Amino acid sequence: MFNFTWKKLGIITGLSLSLVVAGCGQADNGRESDKPEATTSVSEKLEYTITGIEPGAGQTETNEKAIAEYESLAGWKQETASSAAMLTALGNAIDNEEPIIVAAWSPHYKFAKWDLKYLEDPKGVFGDEEYITTIVRRGLKDDMPNAYTILDKIHWELPEMEAALLKAQEMDFEFEAVAQEWVDGNQEKVSTWTEGVESVDGTSINLASTSWDTELFSANVAKIVLEQQGFDVTLTVVDPSVLFGAISSGDVDASLSPWMPTTHGAFYEEYEGQFEELGPNLEGAKIGLAVPTYMDIDSIEDLEPAE
């Protein structure tokens, strides 16, 4: 099969490179473990391509920034399609123990499903830790104080979110059902969010979410909790690029989706002052480039520029 031939070719290339390196005088001590020869072949085998996600994702921009800033990524390209396509490519590569480098973020079930490692990012392009924050339109506090209080209190611990995402995978990503099950099983926590909040009689509220798992889960939980308090909730899924504008114009009342400070930082700055931030609903998130642990590289700087 094509893949097999391609893999074999890669191995042959790797071998001939190590012979070249050996011939250059570093021969005596352990040519097997010499890093440069291994990484050259990895970058070549990858065809200098990062497997990205949706063109509209915040991280897609950050990946481009990394390609621009790292000499080791000079001449590389990012292939974008969707998170689902990236996960399929990742699964296929792992089944065949082939190299792959993907746009990765956590929390996400891929880290539970496969042995992956983030590549070190010595230039800090991907930032350190991310948090997911809750934003609302200006005036929401006065117009819907009860919804505002609930949205302000909604918060998850990282292990709790990771467990919910694994559950979502088991439940075929039916996030309404996943969220309902979580709310039913976590009444005590939910009651701390709704404590002292008066019920309303069918007040309409518009929530927006981006399309990734963490956000779909949190938005659906918020929807159910608000509905239990008598709100009539509409939940719309949007791109990060339109999210801040929709909140700033007041078309959307609230969102629990923005990743900060890096992933959606540019959108945040563009609309800063035109929305209200209620603060993190989850801390300890992260984005970066990741590879399967069987790959012999640890840092973005272990990659090689395309000639």
What are the tokens at 162?
């990771």
**Rule CB under 6 A: is residue 288 a binding residue for ligand PBE?**
no
Cβ proximity to ligand PBE, 119 vs 190, nearer residue: 119
**Rule CB under 6 A: is residue 90 a binding residue for ligand PBE?**
no
Among 87, 102, 144, 287, binds ligand PBE (CB under 6 A): 287
Cβ proximity to ligand PBE, 80 vs 206, nearer residue: 80
In angstroms, the CA 259 to CA 108 distance is 14
Cβ proximity to ligand PBE, 213 vs 304, nearer residue: 213
Per-residue HEC secondary structure of the chain comes to CHHHHHHHHHHHHHHHHHHHHHHHHHCCCCHHHCHHHHHHHHHHHCCCEEECCCCCCHHHHHHHHHHHHCHHHCCCEEECCCHHHHHHHHHHHHHCCCCCCEEEEECCCHHHHCCEEECECCCCCCCCCEEEEEEEECCHHHHCHHHHHHHHHCCECHHHHHHHHHHHHHCCCCHHHHHHHHHHHCHHHHHHHHCCCCCCCCCEEEEEECCCHHHHHHHHHHHHHHHHCCCEEEEEECCHHHHHHHHHHCCCCEECCCEECCCCHHHHHHHCCCEEEEEEEEEEEEEEEEEECCCCCCEHHHCCCCC
**Rule CB under 6 A: is residue 53 a binding residue for ligand PBE?**
yes
**Rule CB under 6 A: is residue 136 a binding residue for ligand PBE?**
no
Residue list 178-217, contact with ligand PBE (CB under 6 A): 210, 212
CB of 291 to ligand PBE, least distance (A): 17
**Rule CB under 6 A: is residue 148 a binding residue for ligand PBE?**
no
Each residue 245-284 as x (binds ligand PBE by CB under 6 A) or -, in order, gives: --------------x---x---------------------
CB of 69 to ligand PBE, least distance (A): 18
Among 42, 50, 57, 238, binds ligand PBE (CB under 6 A): 57
Among 37, 43, 44, 58, binds ligand PBE (CB under 6 A): 58
**Which one of 52-60, 72-80, 193-201, 245-253 is the stretch in contact with ligand PBE (CB under 6 A)?**
52-60
CB of 100 to ligand PBE, least distance (A): 17
Q: Which residues bind ligand PBE (CB under 6 A)?
A: 53, 57-59, 105, 210, 212, 240, 259, 263, 287
